Amino acid sequence: MSVQRSMQIKLFGILWLTGMAGVVSLLGINLPIPEEIKLQFPVWAIKLLILIQPTLLLTISVSIGVFLARKVTLSAPLAEAISSGNALDRAIKPQLVPGIIGGLVGGILLVAIQLSAQLFLPSDFTVKAAEMSRNTSFLTRILYGGITEELLLRWGMMTLFVWIGWRIFGKGQGKPPAFCFVGAIVLSAVLFGLGHLPLAFALGTPVNNLTIAYIIVANSVFGLIAGYLYWQKGLEAAMISHVLVHLVMVTAIR
């Protein structure tokens, strides 16, 4: 086995296990399971079944990043340092301050958007959305929201979009042009926002155009910050920022 392949396997294992901590934390969410389903299956079995999809998505996303990130000059410096035995402090120090700044800015911005939107959104929607938020444990916010989502959206999805753009516009030669990164950042952020629409409909409240716009914008705006951090500093900077966003939001909105 080549040294490069061995490092890729180690990197995959490190990132996959890290992401699985977030997937497992989903067990702590108080899901509104219909009574007729509870009569057929025990709750623990239902919750384990729910973990199948995010586990598959995590596995695919980590694999994409491991095989494609370096080709398009993207990286996970700390995880790569662990897998290769290099100095960890040199890998994480350049990411700390940008990650903290991004998290504070993103957290304040999201709190402002959420508080402002409450003045215009239907009250039944805001009440049920707040209830769903309370049913999500702090640990799940940090592990799944802050870490696993970055592996899915940045390490997997954004990396793939950059690689596709690089192959199309750069013919797979040299460094991808900047617009490939910008396009990938925007596209992955907007798709993340769109991915939250089913949750809005699942609340069982009327969903108007304003509500749809709020859901997309509120869930997309931080993706722009995290995507930029991943591009310029590394995956862990985006993770640090995402974790801090949740800390700010939990502290500001109770």
pLDDT value at residue 1: 61
Q: Which range (31-40, 96-105, 157-166, 178-187) has the least confidence?
A: 31-40
Q: Which range (115-119, 134-138, 142-146, 151-155) has the least confidence?
A: 134-138
Give the span between the Cα atoms of 247 and 235, in whole angstroms.
Answer: 19
What total of structural domains would you count in the chain?
A: 1
Domain carrying residue 162: 3-252
**Band of pLDDT at residue 31, cut at 50, 70 and 90:** low
Of 254, 248, 238, 236, the C-alpha closest to 192 is 238
pLDDT value at residue 45: 63
Which helix (H) or strand (E) is 81 found in, with range? helix 77-84
Mean pLDDT, the chain, whole residue set: 88
CA 195 remoteness from chain centre: 12
Helix axes 235-252, 209-232, angle to 10 degrees: 140
* CB crowding 149-181: b at 16 or more within 10 Å, else e: bbbbbbbbbbbbbbbbbbeeeeeeeeebeeebb
Q: Which range (10-14, 125-129, 182-186, 230-234) has the least confidence?
A: 125-129
Q: Which residues are CB-neighbours of 152 under 8 A, at least 6 positions away?
A: 19, 57, 58, 61
**Band of pLDDT at residue 228, cut at 50, 70 and 90:** very high
Q: pLDDT tens across 161-188, in order? A: 999 999 999 888 999 999 999 999 999 9
pLDDT value at residue 178: 96
| Most confident region among 37-41, 120-124, 130-134, 234-238 by mean pLDDT | 234-238
Give the span between the Cα atoms of 108 and 173, in whole angstroms.
Answer: 40
**Band of pLDDT at residue 252, cut at 50, 70 and 90:** confident
Q: Which residues are CB-neighbours of 116 under 8 A, at least 6 positions away?
A: none
Q: Provide, rounded to the nearest whole percent, the portion of the chain with pLDDT above 70.
A: 89
Which helix (H) or strand (E) is 198 found in, with range? helix 197-202
225: pLDDT strictly greater than 80: yes
24: pLDDT strictly greater than 60: yes
pLDDT value at residue 144: 94
